[in-house]
Structure 1
Amino acid sequence: MISKENLGGKVKLKRALISVYDKTNVLKMANFLKSKGVEIISTGGTYKYLKENGIEVKEVSEVTGFEEILDGRVKTLHPAIHGGILAVRSKKEHMDEIKKKGIEPIDMVVVNLYPFFDKVDEDLSFDEKMEFIDIGGPTMIRAAAKNFKDVIVLTDINDYDRVIDEIESLGDVSFEFRKKLAGKVFNLMSAYDGAISNFLLGEDSYNDYLSFTYKKAQNLRYGENPHQSAAYYVKTCGKGAMKDFEVLNGKELSYNNIKDMDIAWKVVNEFDTTVCCALKHNTPCGVAEGVNVLDAYTKAYECDSISIFGGIVAFNRKVDKETAKELVKIFLEIVIAPDFDEDALSVLRRKKNLRIIKCSVKPSGAVEFAKVDGGILVQSPDNKLIENMNVVTEAQPNKSQIEDMIFGMKVVKYVKSNAIVIVKDKKTVGIGGGQVNRIWAA
């Protein structure tokens, strides 16, 4: 519950600066501010948009006395703007100084940034992508966030309604919420700057500072165990199989589901031939190659018909109706494939809780992380296979045996060490992992 006591240094809202790329709901906010007698200042496209929609607005150049220059690169970078944002209302010397300079305070900043997160993945030239690096917007919101006790800063359209509600009911925005809004600015800017840094330096270059940016996709019911809280975050830039999949049926995905999907999908994408992987608790329990998806699934099921129960089945080919008929005969958590025939979907959807995942994105092969207490280990992915095979035994393997060895090498990467995978005719017949003793693994 918000109370008058929580308001902290209460501001009297007189002037707001609005400059947004995403104009969703901005008319609602602008109309509300005008209804409260707030003067609105705006820039470029936002100024034009508000004006066209009948909202009285003053252009930034009227405040600064300086027109936009350099194709709009310099609009708000001016003391008349930043002095109005950064002046601490409780400091008499600040207020006297801006008054002397003819600068009026700005009490609210509503800004969202150029969409660099989206544009960096589009088919644009390097120079075109560079143009989506925002300068004026970040400068304004950082200034407003620093002075959040006196300035309300809005960067997220999902916060508009709460700000309107608080001003309507309390005449102001509570100290705690203004503090949260300021925190969201620096949270956003760390991600935004990190994305730009990775664009310029490359993600795999082991830079002095590690800055990978992720955005929350959803809260999860719980983590690895029911007593652990959890959420799922996806990369703000770049593709990724576990970012770009579609859920075609079934219950909400869990923490363990997503981890298992990631491994199963990586296993089947090790192969150019038709392969099925059955997986349980982050570990493959059956992997097999087939002449078609039904054959591959049948062989993978035969690898371990017990452990597959309640597990995940992944394919690297489209799933057809005949395969779907076999899949629904046992309890499975997830079926993941690059695509499904419509007839196959009709069969699979008879099981309402079965999660059907369509994923057409190959694993990215990005660097891998392991979090330790106080640090993060970073390494390149394990994607190197045999370059030169040197047979050190008297018995020479034939072509089929060599193919089985390579098949096993691809699978064993996804089994916890010490690990041994035994393969016969491109089908795992034994998987031993997580053993402290190599003999026991066998």
Structure 2
Amino acid sequence: MKSAYISLYDKSEILPLAKTLKSLGYEIYSHGSTLNFLAENEIDIIKVESEIHPNIEIIKLFAGKKKGIIKPEIIIADIPHNFEDDTYNILLILTAIKKGIGKAKDKKDIDKLNSHLKLFGEISEDINKELISNALNRISYILATQRYNIFPYINTNDDVINIPLKKIFKIKYGENPHQSCFIYSSPIKNDFNLDDINIINGELNLNHYLDIKKAVEVLNSVNEPLAMAIKHANICSISYGDTPIKALKKITEYGYDIKRSYAFNRNIDIDLIYELEKYQPESIIALSFSQLAIDYIKKNNDKIKILTYNSKTITPPSQKEIINLGADFAIEDKDILDETQRINFITGKNIMENIKDIKLALLISKNLKTYSSVIVSDGRMLSFSQGEDTSSSAIRSSIYKIKSKNMIKLNEKDMILAVSGSLDEGSLNETFKLPVKLIIQGTKDINEGIIKIIKDKQIAFAITQKRHFKH
């Protein structure tokens, strides 16, 4: 004889499974309102009596300290959202799992178990393992969530880390249309959380979310009005401006590519939407939109995704980045650009009157893949290159882009070059053909010969205290 134990708050989905169990010869044990519900629906039930709680009697049964009833081979019981709500159910479930007894916890489990029993007439080892795994997963999620409610950051001082993830929705597709993709949320606090994003119009795929993440990280780093174009989480162009529309015109002055995401750290009005239409934006991210701008997009170009984000001026502590290494993970401190870090000038005078351009160059450089170079002037990025095999290659590529767009129109030296790696003589000879007044090197490796060459050209040269390589 086989048996099952049922103890549920929500009994609306249990009748089909209970009938299947009875048809296969199972004895069903229960108590309280669950017993009454099943009895009212003409299911033959055996009541479990207890002076404390019926679950304790089943636990005794698993421990070999009780006789008289058949040990259940399946437990059907709720997992409460908070362990304090139902300690007896938690004790029962944990005991059953330890003894290798499967446990159905919700409609999805109940329906699957019912279909399995109808097909095979018994509980197979595979379905039993799946039910045990599901129950362990849910219990560990609840426990880990309670831990992050106390301290909502990853703690790498502990050798064991549990990160609770809960599926919240399916998105249009992943990086490519043939890849399905789901979004999972966690209680970990970070400088970017999807709760900070409000989708006003459009359906997003994974590439849009990657663009949004990168855009928000950059926008939260800047107080001045800023516009940026971004594609597949790569910064395409970026500029300061007195107003969002002036910033936008600066990044498109020397040409532009269509089908980008555009991001602003200010309110978007209808005039900016008129200007943006020229560039066929895929999405627009901003602090807010005027209602007129929203209505216009929905009426005239409903394919454009429009989103707002919550600005964060304070960076949460203890931020970590998780890197997938296949079956393993690396967890490192997040590389945060510290605006207070000193820039050490090796040659030339300290030209901190250009602090906005210096900050912009460092901000962009931090978000480019090593080896990279970026050229900035008058509050905008003129050119960049990333993912090169050497710093020299990155510099040459950036210079080529400037020349190909005929962007050298300035008589005075007002360009700033930021490079992630060490400089060499060949790349410097190309650099000197541009009106560069400051070169910032992102490493402390200093070549005395290079310093002399730069000094002879009367160009300022500085190094940063911290290296911000990105791979």
TM-score of the two chains, using structure 1 as the length reference:
0.71
- The yes-or-no answer on 1:298 pairing with 2:249 is yes
Structure ranking higher on relative contact order (CA contacts 8 Å, 6+ apart): 1
CA shift digits 1:300-322 (9 cap, x unpaired): 3337512xx22211222232222
Match of 1:247 among 199, 217, 221: 199
Q: CA deviation at 1:266?
A: 0.8
Unaligned runs of 5+ in 2: 396-471
- Separation (CA, whole Å) in 2 of partners of 1:64 and 1:257: 57
Q: CA deviation at 1:289?
A: 2.2
- The yes-or-no answer on 1:394 pairing with 2:342 is no
- Separation (CA, whole Å) in 2 of partners of 1:377 and 1:249: 36
Matches within 5 A, 1:359-374: 359-360=309-310, 362=312, 366-373=319-326
Amino acid at match of 1:428: M
- The yes-or-no answer on 1:330 pairing with 2:316 is no
Match of 1:377 in 2: 330
- Separation (CA, whole Å) in 1 of partners of 2:341 and 2:35: 61
Match of 1:344 among 287, 293, 312: 293
CA shift digits 1:120-157 (9 cap, x unpaired): xxxxxxxxxxx759754443333334556xx5522234
Contact conserved, 2:154 with 2:188, CA < 8 A, in 1? no
Identity of aligned residues (%): 20
CA shift digits 1:94-137 (9 cap, x unpaired): 6xx642xx455445534444435xxxxxxxxxxxxxx7597544
- The yes-or-no answer on 1:428 pairing with 2:381 is yes
Q: CA deviation at 1:167?
A: 5.8
- Separation (CA, whole Å) in 2 of partners of 1:31 and 1:81: 23
Match of 2:12 among 16, 22, 27: 27
Report the CA distance shift for 1:155/1:298 in structure 2 as closer, same or farther (over 3 A).
farther
Match of 2:235 in 1: 284
Contact conserved, 1:261 with 1:336, CA < 8 A, in 2? yes
Match of 2:400 in 1: none
- The yes-or-no answer on 1:141 pairing with 2:80 is no
The structure with the larger Rg is 2
- What is the aligned-residue RMSD (CA, Å)? 4.0
- Separation (CA, whole Å) in 2 of partners of 1:140 and 1:292: 63
Match of 1:115 in 2: 81
User: Per the alignment, in what secondary structure is the counterpart of residue 296 of structure 1?
Assistant: helix
User: Per the alignment, in what secondary structure is the counterpart of residue 287 of structure 1?
Assistant: strand
Contact conserved, 2:3 with 2:28, CA < 8 A, in 1? no
Match of 2:7 in 1: 17
CA shift digits 1:44-65 (9 cap, x unpaired): xxx59988xx8999xxx97331
Report the CA distance shift for 1:174/1:375 in structure 2 as closer, same or farther (over 3 A).
closer
Matches within 5 A, 1:160-179: 160-163=110-113, 176-179=126-129
- Separation (CA, whole Å) in 1 of partners of 2:182 and 2:117: 33
- Separation (CA, whole Å) in 2 of partners of 1:81 and 1:246: 48
Match of 1:159 among 74, 95, 109: 109
TM-score of the two chains, using structure 2 as the length reference:
0.67
Contact conserved, 1:250 with 1:355, CA < 8 A, in 2? yes
- Separation (CA, whole Å) in 2 of partners of 1:49 and 1:265: 54
Report the CA distance shift for 1:352/1:242 in structure 2 as closer, same or farther (over 3 A).
farther
Match of 2:181 among 224, 231, 240: 231
Tell me the number of residue pairs that the alignment of Structure 1 and Structure 2 aligns.
382
CA shift digits 1:217-238 (9 cap, x unpaired): 34556543566x4533433314
Contact conserved, 2:31 with 2:48, CA < 8 A, in 1? no
Contact conserved, 2:29 with 2:48, CA < 8 A, in 1? no
- Separation (CA, whole Å) in 2 of partners of 1:132 and 1:113: 11
Report the CA distance shift for 1:434/1:42 in structure 2 as closer, same or farther (over 3 A).
farther
Amino acid at match of 2:14: M
User: Per the alignment, in what secondary structure is the counterpart of residue 139 of structure 1?
Assistant: helix
Contact conserved, 1:216 with 1:233, CA < 8 A, in 2? yes
User: Per the alignment, in what secondary structure is the counterpart of residue 328 of structure 1?
Assistant: helix
Contact conserved, 2:261 with 2:284, CA < 8 A, in 1? yes
- The yes-or-no answer on 1:413 pairing with 2:366 is yes
Contact conserved, 1:218 with 1:231, CA < 8 A, in 2? no
CA shift digits 1:41-94 (9 cap, x unpaired): 468xxx59988xx8999xxx9733126xxxxxxx94x3x12244x47xxxxxx6
- Separation (CA, whole Å) in 2 of partners of 1:373 and 1:168: 38
Deviates more, 1:166-175 or 1:419-428: 166-175
Match of 2:392 in 1: 439
Contact conserved, 1:418 with 1:438, CA < 8 A, in 2? yes
Amino acid at match of 1:246: N
CA shift digits 1:144-182 (9 cap, x unpaired): 34556xx55222344344445566787766664443222
